[in-house]
Chains A and B, each alone.
Chain A
Amino acid sequence: MVQQYIGASITRKEDERFLTGRATFADDVKLPGMLHAAFVRSPHAHARIVAIDTTAALAIPGVVAIFTYEDIADLAKPIPVRLYPLPSLEPFLQYPLAQDKVRYVGDPVAIVIADSRYVGEDALDVIDVTYEPLPAVVDIEDSLRDETIIHEAPGTNLAAHYVVSTGDIDQAFRDAEYTRKERFKTNRHTGNPLETRGMVVAYDSGELTVWGATKVPHFNREVLSSLLDFPEEKMHFVEGDVGGGFGIRGEFYPEDFLVPFAAMRLGRPVKWMEDRLEHLIAANHSRDVLCDIEIAMKKDGAILGIRAQVYGDMGGYIRTHGSLVPASTAGLLMGPYNVPAYECGVHCVITNKTGVGTFRAPGRYESCFIRERLLDMAAADLGIDPAELRFKNLIQPSQMPYNAGRTRADGDTIFDSGNYPQGLTRALDQIGYAETNPKRWVDEAGRYHGIGIATYVKNTGRGPYEGARIVISGTGDVAVYLGITTMGQGHETTMAQICADSLGVSMDAVTIYHGNTDYIPFGGGTYGSRGTVMGGNAVHLACQNMKERILSLASTYLDTEPANLVLQTGEIFRKGTEQGPALLSLGEIACLAEVPGSNEEGSGTLETTAYFEADQLTFSYGSHAAHVAVDPETGKIEIIHYVVVEDIGRAINPLMVHGQAVGGAAQGIGATLLEELVYDDSGQLLAGSFMDYLLPTSTDVPPIESIVLEEAPSPLNPLGVKGAGEGGIVATGATLANAVSNALAPLGVQITQLPISPNFIAKLLSS
């Protein structure tokens, strides 16, 4: 029996270099003559720039140059939207440097280039920017009053508004036997990859190279080409090892123009490594959503309709993710349920805060919290068990594929496959739901215990295409060049597993190359749990093509038909005699593929590129369940048991899928209990360092049980896979809020906003 790599929990090929400290991150790139960048960032949330005096800074030895808007004025264009564009967003886009106004604390005003970052920061101390402060808008409702306008040209703070709907919502509410209306708010927080953003850029002999690229290098190269007015073919984006992405890292930010601009202007390499203080004010924030929602039901718990208004606090500018966060909140607000009628208004609201973008399960963490909390409230009102209420409404396997209707501006939401009730059942079994009666109690120490559950569905594997190029050399080595990138997901292992099985070679013969725009002409990148769905299937497709070519070459040489041959463990056998001697090795076939006249052994190449296309999304789904204990005197929450159930269709590497689930849940626990980017009324960020922005540490995260299901392979791709990157986080807010609310229900507590801090619990208990 030939070894099956797909489905095997193989330890990661890349871990050796990570664990032995030999990985190469952006900051490890050091070039001769390299300079360092630092940024003058606005200390005001909203102000007019009156004057910038750089005289004293330029006099510091080691300060090479300072660029302000004036210096980039000839090139100045706004950074375009990559995802979820809407025409009305255009006037709210961010330019690389502030022109006459700053619109959030951290807004870049100038870039300093110096011999070292130390000297660069010395320059920041003495650059004298005169600001005329303006009133700051830090609240969605304040912003919507348009009393203070943040962008003068459009003359409003509402950057976009549209409505999605499906079914007859008015009829649903006319038929309702029960309705409930609530307001929910999710906390502004963001991803904090261990490695902050950063890059080294060199301009040499007319070629521009950017080290530190990741996520979407092909797209970013196109943007930079347009902004610098410099040909794409002369630009090389190189991805090294990356210390985490989570949606934050790798988008096109102002710095992604300014550092290359400085390197070109000065003709010397420039490094910029974001520090954590910069990261917290400059990199995208996320999740800041306000939602008014109303549900219509029958007394038996059947959902008739949901109507809602979603307001996304977008910050001072619309960034590369366009309307994505509020749009995606609306897109899956109805969740994995039969909701015959749905209507949702989506509002993109500008405020004087850092711009918003994606963070792992953007919009879906939010909508799951909103919907699942409301369902628990409705269950209590109707006297129905929360699990029973969900079973009653979950979409059944027989309904798949299920068209949930037009919940997005750009089309219908169609769930491809799934056994949603099974996903919930597994979570309930694991937490011991049936045996735990009652579902809430008080222990001897006076702590309130409660069980909470939530179900979710998450779109993954966004198209439209992804590519892979395979080159087999005369040594028989298989090189796979990916269009996707790797921020720590382990593609060097999973993609090798796919390649080995799809081609019929040993995994040891396969090497994965990723993230370099020179490897492959087009690449969509890695985001939204698309890596394995799109990149994996591209590898599979390329392998199919390659296999066909190999068998054709071999059959010609062996004077037989391709159908009589098999490729197995990197060798050609006659069909039926796979145990016997091999007829040809992969290396020998590679030599056969050479151009005529060049027969030197080992120099042959066998190459193919394939693109996998998808115009539909795959939907992972599942449920979370938690048991918590709350100390009513301090508001402290202990998570006693946490379960993540996720169906991803087919697990290429179950060990790594578990890692994704557990890591996602840990991140979600932090997001739900600890993390918040708090602003004061003047628009100052009060959680600007890790002293105040509280990430979960190993002592705050309980053991997490992850159950990976393969009940419903996706019919949309040959591998049957769905994305596995976000199921671990998506229902954490919902589940913990439900558990805490359930525990404290006797004391009249209902969580409607996050995070759930001890102070917040104490406040709810005292009111």
Chain B
Amino acid sequence: MKPARFDYYSPDSPNEALELLGQYGDDAKILAGGQSLMPMMNMRLVRPKVVIDINRIAGLSHISPRPDGGLAVGAMTRQRELERSALVLETAPLLSLAIPYIGHFQIRNRGTVGGSLAHSDPAAEIPAVCLTLDTEFELASSAGERTVKAEDFFLNHLTTALEPAELLTQIRIPQTVGNWRWGFQEVCRRDGDFALVGAATMLRLDDRGICLESRITAFGAGGTPMRMNAAENHLSGSSVNADDRSEAARLVSDALDPISDIHASAKYRQDVAGVMVRRALEQALLPMEGEDAA
């Protein structure tokens, strides 16, 4: 478990990093928190010729409010910082709810938002949450910058819209406050493992409890986290009662075509994805602080 030989760069500025990326492209790997890259290198599953360590670049780690009420999060922000951020809790409570499911706190101390997104494990929490929250990704290269929507960012298993010369610098999360409700559920073999399967949901309800907008994401059930359109459509306009929730769960299970591995069969993932969706919806409808348990 020793990595193959590689060259190591530790740029001080984004421009320097982008220059190196432009120069080495596919031969280079960005080192963020290193929670996935280092084991993969040690096992020689990946053998980059060049490792570009962006930990010393100033300005890539921040959680800032945006004028539209949303949130900007720097790619190098540690997961633990999100977990402890009052601003995240106020602006994007689903993210606060999901973060503790990532590994253990030691891992979150090191793991970054950008690292998780760029690695794009289909069972990871941050990609699922970003997809649910309609997050936008800011990608930079020496040629310029572009913005990619979450729905266009995750392409396949460990594959994103990032070009070889591009660096994910920041994400923009729209605010989901007011009449939004949220739920997040996953099942794993052990606490802290990647989920066997999981679900995230956001519901916007009117005063009478009618669903104005619903978002449902299943993760660990395909090559990427996936929005479950049929279930979302079913819930919109409904009162999200027990029958609606069960129907949404059924629609989700029907829509999925997951893979089997040694930890869970495709059938398990398909069935339990529905259970996770149903439970996430139930969780979303639980009375919030200050509400009557009507």
A251 to chain B, nearest CB (A): 22
Q: What is the 8 Å Cβ interface bit string for chain A, positions 618-644, against chain B (1 contact, 0 not)?
A: 000000000000000111100000000
Q: Is A762 an interface residue (CB 8 A)?
A: yes
Contact among A122, A275, A758 for B264, CB-based, below 8 A? A758
| Docked-complex contact A762 and B268, CB < 8 angstroms | yes
List 6 tightest A-B contacts by C-beta distance, closest first.
A275-B1, A699-B191, A118-B2, A633-B275, A759-B264, A678-B262
Chain A residues whose CB sits within 8 angstroms of the CB of B27 once the complex forms: none
The 5 listed contacts between A and B (C-beta, < 8 Å) are A122-B5, A275-B1, A636-B187, A686-B262, A758-B189
In this assembly, does A553 line the interface, its C-beta being within 8 Å of a C-beta of chain B? no
Contact stretch, chosen from A312-320, A321-329, A334-342, A687-695:
A687-695
Question: Does A183 touch B at the CB level, under 8 Å?
Answer: no
Contacts of B208 in A (CB 8 A): none
A121 interface residue per 8 A CB criterion: yes
A692 adjacent to B262 (CB under 8 Å): yes
Q: Pick the contact of A696 from B5, B43, B104, B190 — CB < 8 Å?
A: B190
State in angstroms the CA–CA spacing of A759 and B104 once bound together. Answer: 23
B4 near A634 with CB under 8 A, answer no
Find chain A residues with CB under 8 A from B263 CB. Answer: 692, 757, 759
Chain B 253-272 against A: per-residue CB contact (8 Å), 1 yes, 0 no?
Answer: 00000000011110110011
Provide the bound-state CA to CA distance between A635 and B269, in Å.
Answer: 12
Question: What secondary structure prevails in chain B residues at the interface with A?
Answer: loop
A61 to chain B, nearest CB (A): 12
Q: Does B30 contact A (CB under 8 A)?
A: no
Measured between beta carbons, the chain B residues less than 8 angstroms from A678 are: 262
Is A697 among interface residues, defined by CB-CB distance under 8 A?
A: yes
Name 9 extra pairs, CB < 8 A, besides A277-B43, A636-B187, A686-B262: A122-B4, A634-B272, A634-B275, A697-B192, A699-B190, A699-B191, A758-B187, A759-B196, A762-B268
Q: Which residues of B contact A689 (CB under 8 A)?
A: 39, 43
Chain B residues whose C-beta falls within 8 Å of the C-beta of A694 in the assembled complex: 189-190, 193
- Asked if A762 and B189 sit within 8 Å, CB to CB, the answer is no
A276 touches B189 (CB 8 A): no
Interface size grouping (class) on chain A:
20 to 34
Question: Which residues 101-139 of A have a CB within 8 angstroms of B?
Answer: 116-118, 121-122, 125
Pair A758/B268 contact, Cβ less than 8 Å = yes
B44 at the interface (CB under 8 A from A): yes
Q: Is the CB of B272 within 8 A of A700?
A: no
Judge if A17 is at the interface, Cβ distance under 8 Å.
no
Contact string, B174-188, partner A, CB cutoff 8 A, digits 1/0? 000000000000010
Query: Are B187's CB and A634's CB within 8 A?
Result: yes
What's the count of A-B pairs with C-beta under 8 Å? Answer: 68
User: B260 — nearest CB in chain A belongs to which residue?
Assistant: A759
Q: In the complex, what distance in Å separates the CA atom of A634 from the CA atom of B263? A: 13
Tell me the bound Cα distance from A734 to B12 in angstroms.
58
User: Complex formed: what's the CA distance from A338 to B108 in Å?
Assistant: 55
Interface residues of B in 60-110 (CB under 8 A from A): 104
* Contact assessment for B272 and A762 in the assembled complex, using a CB-CB cutoff below 8 Å: yes
In the complex formed, the residue of B with least CB distance to A686 is: B262
Instruction: Find A763's partner among B5, B189, B196, B265 (CB 8 Å cutoff).
Output: B265
Q: Is the CB of A633 within 8 A of B265?
A: no
Q: Does A674 contact B (CB under 8 A)?
A: yes
Give the interface centre of B190, B192, B267 by most chain A CB atoms within 10 Å.
Answer: B190
Contact with B along A693-730 (1 / 0, CB 8 A): 01011011000000000000000000000000000000
**Contact call A758/B190, Cβ cutoff below 8 A:** no
Distance, CA A699 to CA B103, complexed state (A): 11
Which chain B residues lie closer than 8 Å to A759 at the CB level?
A: 196, 263-265, 268
What are the residues of chain A within 8 A of B189 when measuring CB–CB?
Answer: 674, 694, 757-758
Find the residue from A633, A636, A687, A697 having the highest chain B CB count within 10 A.
A633
Return the chain A residue nearest B3 by Cβ. Answer: A118
Q: How far is the CA of A277 from the CA of B193 in the complex (A)?
A: 19
| B4:A125 contact, CB within 8 angstroms | yes
On whether A700 and B4 interact (CB within 8 A), knowing A759-B268, A762-B268, A763-B265, the answer reads no
Contact with B along A500-542 (1 / 0, CB 8 A): 0000000000000000000000000000000000000000000
Which A residues between 609 and 663 are near B, CB-CB below 8 angstroms? 633-636
CB closest chain-B residue, reference A636: B187
Who on chain B is nearest to A670 by CB?
A: B190
Interface of A is mostly: loop
Max chain A C-beta neighbours (<10 A), residue from B1, B192, B267: B1
Question: What residues of chain B have their CB less than 8 Å away from a CB belonging to chain A?
Answer: 1-5, 39, 43-44, 104, 187, 189-193, 196, 262-265, 267-268, 271-272, 275
How distant is the Cα of A151 from the Cα of B43 in the complex, in angstroms? 32
* Mask: chain A, 33-66; 1 = CB below 8 Å from B; 0 = not: 0000000000000000000000000000000000
Q: Which of A121, A686, A687 is packed against the most chain B CB atoms within 10 Å? A: A121
Kindly provide the distance from the CB of B70 to the nearest chain A CB, expressed in whole angstroms. Answer: 34
Most central of A674, A696, A759, A762 by chain B CB within 10 Å: A759
Contacts of A758 in B (CB 8 A): 187, 189, 196, 264, 268
Q: Assess the A697–B275 pair: CB atoms within 8 A.
A: no
Task: Give which listed residue, A276, A636, A691, A700, contacts B1 with CB less than 8 A.
Answer: A276
Asked if residues B271 and A697 are in contact (CB atoms below 8 Å), the reply is: no
Chain A, range 257-281, C-beta contacts under 8 Å to B:
275-277
Interchain nearest-CB distance for A57 vs B (Å)? 14
Chain B, Cβ-Cβ closest to A124: B44
- C-alpha spacing A117/B4, complex, angstroms: 11
Tell whether, in the assembled complex, residue B191 and residue A700 are in contact, meaning their CB atoms are under 8 Å apart: yes
B264 lies within 8 A of A697 (CB)? no
B123 → chain A, closest Cβ, in Å? 12
The reply to whether A121 and B43 contact each other, CB–CB distance below 8 Å, is no
CA distance A686 to B263 in the complex (A): 10
- Docked Cα-Cα span, A624 to B267, in Å, equals 34
Q: Which residues of B contact A686 (CB under 8 A)?
A: 262
Taking the nearest CB of chain B, how far is it from the CB of A386, in angstroms?
A: 29
Tell whether, in the assembled complex, residue A117 and residue B192 are in contact, meaning their CB atoms are under 8 Å apart.
no
Asked if B272 and A633 sit within 8 Å, CB to CB, the answer is: yes
Docked Cα-Cα span, A692 to B189, in Å, equals 10
Provide the A389-425 mask, 1 if CB < 8 A to any CB of B, else 0: 0000000000000000000000000000000000000
B262 touches A117 (CB 8 A): no
Q: In angstroms, how far is the closest chain B Cβ from the Cβ of A102?
A: 21
- Bound-complex Cα distance A296 to B172 (A): 70
A485 to B212, alpha carbons, bound, how many Å?
70
Per the bound structure, the CA–CA distance linking A692 and B3 in Å amounts to: 20
Select from chain B the residue with minimum beta-carbon distance to A674. Answer: B189
**What's the least CB distance linking B78 to chain A, in Å?**
21
Residues of chain B contacted by A633 (CB below 8 angstroms): 272, 275
Which of the residues A125, A696, A762 comes within 8 Å of B44, measured between beta carbons? A125
Closest beta carbon of chain A to B42's beta carbon, Å: 8
Cβ-neighbour of B192 out of A692, A699, A763 (below 8 A): A699
Q: Which residues of B contact A276 (CB under 8 A)?
A: 1
Closest chain-A Cβ to B101's Cβ sits at a distance in Å of 12
- B residues near A116, Cβ cutoff 8 Å: 2
Name B271's closest neighbour in chain A (CB-CB): A762
**A121 is contacted by which of B39, B44, B104, B272 (Cβ under 8 Å)?**
B44
Task: Point out the residues of chain A lying under 8 angstroms from B43, CB to CB.
Answer: 277, 689
A277 CA / B44 CA spacing, docked (Å): 12
* A275 neighbours in B (Cβ, 8 Å): 1
A730 to B263, CA, bound (A): 25
Chain A residues positioned under 8 Å from B268 (CB to CB): 635, 758-759, 762-763
A568 to chain B, nearest CB (A): 51
Once the chains are docked, how many angstroms separate the CA of A116 from the CA of B275?
Answer: 51
Name the CB-closest residue of A to B274: A633
Are A687's CB and B262's CB within 8 A? yes
**B187 cross-chain contacts in A, Cβ below 8 A:** 634, 636, 758
Residues of A within 8 A of B44 (CB): 121, 125
**A residues in contact with B193, CB < 8 Å:** 694
Residue B191 contacts which of A277, A687, A692, A697 (CB distance < 8 angstroms)? A697
Query: Are the CB atoms of A117 and B265 closer together than 8 Å?
Result: no
A757: B residues at CB distance < 8 A: 189, 263
Q: A694-B190, A697-B192, A699-B190 are in contact. Are A117 and B2 (CB under 8 A)?
A: yes
